A and B are shown apart, each in its own frame.
Chain A
Amino acid sequence: EAQVTQNPRYLITVTGKKLTVTCSQNMNHEYMSWYRQDPGLGLRQIYYSMNVEVTDKGDVPEGYKVSRKEKRNFPLILESPSPNQTSLYFCASSFIWTQYNEQFFGPGTRLTVL
C-alpha cells in the first residue's frame, strides 16, 4: 500500500530533551516536507527536501532540523524542544518531475512539550 508513515504517533516530552520524529514514504517521491498544524493558524511548512541531501527552510524552521540521507526517509529533529513546539506535525511527499505533484500526508504526530 502506498503510504507515508510517521513515528511516533504521540509523544509527551520535557523541555530540552532531544527528540526525532521519523517519516518514511514508499512511493519513490522526490519531494518531502514537514508541516505543523496549530489551532487558528492552519498548516505551516517547517522544512522541505527536493532530493537526497537537498533540504531548505519553510516558513517556520526555527528550533527544527532535518536530514535527507535516503530518498524514502525525512526525519524531523528537535534538538532542544520548548513548549511552543507543542503541535500536530505532518510529513508529506510528492513527485516533482511529473504533472502529478499532489502531496500525500502521513497520519500525524501529536507532540506535547512540558
Chain B
Amino acid sequence: EDQVTQSPEALRLQEGESSSLNCSYTVSGLRGLFWYRQDPGKGPEFLFTLYSAGEEKEKERLKATLTKKESFLHITAPKPEDSATYLCAVRADGSNYKLTFGKGTLLTVNP
C-alpha cells in the first residue's frame, strides 16, 4: 500500500528563519511526487512536481528536492504570507492517476 508521511506536523518559524519540511514515501513505483499549499478553507494549490531522484525545482522562496525515499521542501527566509499547510502527494504505478496524500505540515511564520 502506498504511504506518505510528512514531518513535522506543525512548524513555527520566525520571519527570515529558513527550514525544511520532510515527506517520506513508500510506493511500488513512483510516477510523480507533488507538493501543494493549502490555505484554511481553500483548495490545495499546486506548487511542484518531481519525477526522479536528484530532481530539484524552485519557486520564489521554496525549493523542492527528491531522493528515492523522501522529498524536502526548503523554505528560505520565509515571510508571514508563507504560512499555510503544505501537502505532499505521490502517484504510483498502476494507481490510475490517484494521488495519495500525506497529512500535511502546518507552517506558521511569525513577523
Least Cβ–Cβ distance between A107 and chain B, in angstroms: 5
Give the distance in Å from the alpha carbon of A90 to the alpha carbon of B46 in the complex.
14
Which one, B32, B45, B96, contacts A48 given CB within 8 A? B96
The CA of A77 and the CA of B26, in the complex, are separated in Å by 33
Which residues of chain A come closer than 8 Å to B97, judged between CB atoms? 31, 33, 48, 50, 94, 96, 101, 103
Chief secondary structure at chain A's binding surface: strand
The A63-114 residues at the B interface (CB cut-off 8 A) are 90, 92, 94, 96, 101-108, 110
28 interchain pairs (CB within 8 A)? Answer: A4-B43, A33-B97, A33-B98, A33-B99, A42-B87, A42-B102, A42-B104, A43-B87, A45-B98, A48-B97, A48-B98, A56-B96, A90-B43, A90-B44, A92-B99, A96-B97, A101-B91, A101-B97, A102-B32, A102-B34, A103-B99, A105-B36, A105-B44, A105-B45, A106-B43, A107-B42, A108-B43, A110-B41
Interface size of A by CB at 8 A reads 27
Is B98 a contact partner of A42 (Cβ separation < 8 A)?
no
B25 interface contact, C-beta 8 A: no
CB of A104 within 8 A of CB of B46, answer yes
> Is B41 touching A108 in the complex (CB atoms < 8 A)?
yes
> What residues of chain B lie closer than 8 Å to A61, measured between beta carbons?
none
With known contacts A45-B99, A48-B98, A50-B96, A101–B32 Cβ distance under 8 A: yes
